[in-house]
Amino acid sequence: MSTDTAAIGSVPLLAKAPRGPRHSFVRTVVARLRYDYLTLFFMGVILLAILSAVFAPWLAPHDPYATSMILRLKPVGFEGHLLGTDELGRDVLSRILYGGRMSLMMGIVPVLMAVLVGGLLGVVAGFAGGWVNMIIMRIMDVFYAFPSVLLAVAISGTLGGGVVSGLLALTLVFIPSMCRITETATTQIRGLDFVEAARASGASSGSIILDHIVGNILPPVFVYASSLVSVSVLLGAGLSFLGLGVAPPTPDWGQMLSSLRQAIYVQPIVCALPGLAIFIVSLSFNLVSDGLRQAMDIKA
């Protein structure tokens, strides 16, 4: 290869390269998060909430369904009942631990489903552009026109209440915003030169989406999804509060809040506890999402 071109000589190799180990995206984000103590703390809170929901049967001091007419509405710290009891004499701590299962599921599952469905629609709309984009996005706009709470209540009510219809309702509520986020991100990435370069080397649309688009839209999607979880927890609780989500006596934070509110003048602190749980989990997801956004903000 080089015999006929000795006249031009060779190119000197650049020996200078960045020092240290490879800085992949994930590594860089992890390295940044290590010093973001606030985000780490709230990640810990979320982990704790999930673990305590998963291990509720082992952690709960009492049966969450065991009622007692004698032990109704006892205050926080009452003997054997660390967080008091509710209007039917059930242990509030146990019910909050068990209730976390439903509430966290209502928070996480709809968001995951919305990421899949809305994300797919968004990528297709953003990548195809033109009339495909217009049809998909106009349909999404119709859903956007309704306030999310109203929409969730309407869908869940139409479907007849219950956990499954609650999950479906929340999923449908989140699909439009998820779709819009991925559509925007995809449109941005699609216009960049490296996508053009991939097309210029003959890659098909499918492989461009898989190899070049998905990896680049994941960070914003991930950040947005984690902030949606907090909304979903709140909305899920709201549905249960209205009697559209989880049916009694299954413990759920929203539904607990709903039934305990009648006792607000008797045991105000105990009544506020499920609300506090909702508040802490929701806030944690929000702050973690914010921390992730900062950590993932890497200039290429």
Partner 1 sequence: MTGMITQTDDIVSVRSLDVVFHSRQAPAKAVSDVSFAVKRGEVLCIIGESGSGKSVSMRALMRLLPADRTKIGGHITVDGQDVLALSEGQLSRVRGSSISMIFQEPMTALDPVYTIGEQIAEGIRRHEKVSRAEANQRALELLELVRIPSPERRLKNYPHELSGGLRQRAMIAVALACRPALLLADEPTTALDATVQIQVLILLKKLQLDMGMGIIFVTHDLGVAAQIADDVAVMYAGRIVEYGSARDILLHPRHPYTMGMLASTVHGQDRHRDIEAIPGSPPDLRSLPPGCSFAPRCKYALEACTKAVPPEFARPGGGYARCIRMTEIVHQMGAPQPVHA
Partner 2 sequence: MDDTLVPRRPTLKPVKQGDPRDRGGALQPLLIVNNLRKHFPIRGGMLKRVVAKVRAVDDVSFTVMKGETLGVVGESGCGKSTLARLLMNLIQRDTGELIFDGDAVGEKTGITLRQLRRHLQMVFQDSSSSLNPRLPVVDSIAYGPKVHGVKTHAARDTAMQLLERVGLRSDLFAGRYPHELSGGQKQRVNIARALALSPRMLILDEAVSALDKSVEAQVLNLLRYLKTHFSLTYLFISHDLHVVRYISDRVLVMYLGEIVEIGPVDEIYEQPKHPYTQALLASQLSMDPAERVTEAPLAGDPPNPVNPPPGCRFHTRCPYAESVCSANAPRMDKRADPLSHQVACHMHDLASGHSRAGNPPRTLPQASQFAPKLALIGA
Site of interaction with partner 1 (CB under 8 A)? 12, 14, 16, 32, 35
**Which one among 161, 212, 246, 287 touches partner 2, defined by CB under 8 A?**
212
Beta carbons of 113 and 66 less than 8 angstroms apart: no
Query: What's the CA gap between 53 and 44, in Å, rounded?
Result: 14
When CB distances are held under 5 to 8 angstroms depending on the partner's kind, the choice from partner 1, partner 2, none that residue 202 binds is partner 2
For residues 23 and 34, which CB has a smaller minimum distance to partner 2 in the complex? 23
For residues 28 and 250, which CB has a smaller minimum distance to partner 1 in the complex? 28
Of 3-11, 43-51, 85-93, 143-151: span binding partner 2 (CB under 8 A): 3-11
**Which one among 194, 247, 269, 294 touches partner 2, defined by CB under 8 A?**
194
Residue 9: strand pairing partners: none
Task: Write down the residue that tokens 């991939």 correspond to.
Answer: 198
When CB distances are held under 5 to 8 angstroms depending on the partner's kind, the choice from partner 1, partner 2, none that residue 32 binds is partner 1
For residues 7 and 70, which CB has a smaller minimum distance to partner 1 in the complex? 7
For residues 192 and 264, which CB has a smaller minimum distance to partner 2 in the complex? 192
Contact flags string 12-31 toward partner 2, x per CB under 8 A: xxxx-xx---xxxx------
Query: What's the CA gap between 214 and 198, in Å, rounded?
Result: 14
**Which one among 211, 248, 264, 268 touches partner 2, defined by CB under 8 A?**
211
- Does 3 help bind partner 2 (rule: CB under 8 A)? no
Phi, psi (degrees; rounded to nearest 5) at 64: -70, -15
When CB distances are held under 5 to 8 angstroms depending on the partner's kind, the choice from partner 1, partner 2, none that residue 41 binds is none
- Does 142 help bind partner 2 (rule: CB under 8 A)? no
Nearest distance in Å: CB 210, partner 2 = 12
- Secondary structure class of 73 (helix, strand, coil): coil
Instruction: Please state, in angstroms and as integers, the Cα–Cα distance from residue 30 to each residue in 35, 88, 125, following that order.
Output: 9, 47, 32
Query: What's the CA gap between 127 and 123, in Å, rounded?
Result: 6
Helices (H), 129-204: 130-144, 148-159, 163-190, 193-200
Task: Write down the residue that tokens 């006929």 correspond to.
Answer: 4
Four-CA torsion 43, 46, 47, 51, nearest 10 degrees: 170
For residues 1 and 14, which CB has a smaller minimum distance to partner 1 in the complex? 14
Neighbours of 136 (CB within 10 A): 18
Q: What's the DSSP call for residue 75?
A: P
For residues 24 and 142, which CB has a smaller minimum distance to partner 2 in the complex? 24
Q: Which two tokens stand for residue 65?
A: 């369904």
**Which one among 51, 132, 192, 247 touches partner 2, defined by CB under 8 A?**
192
Residues that bind partner 2 (CB under 8 A): 1-2, 4-5, 7-15, 17-18, 22-25, 192-194, 196-204, 207, 211-212, 215-216, 298-300
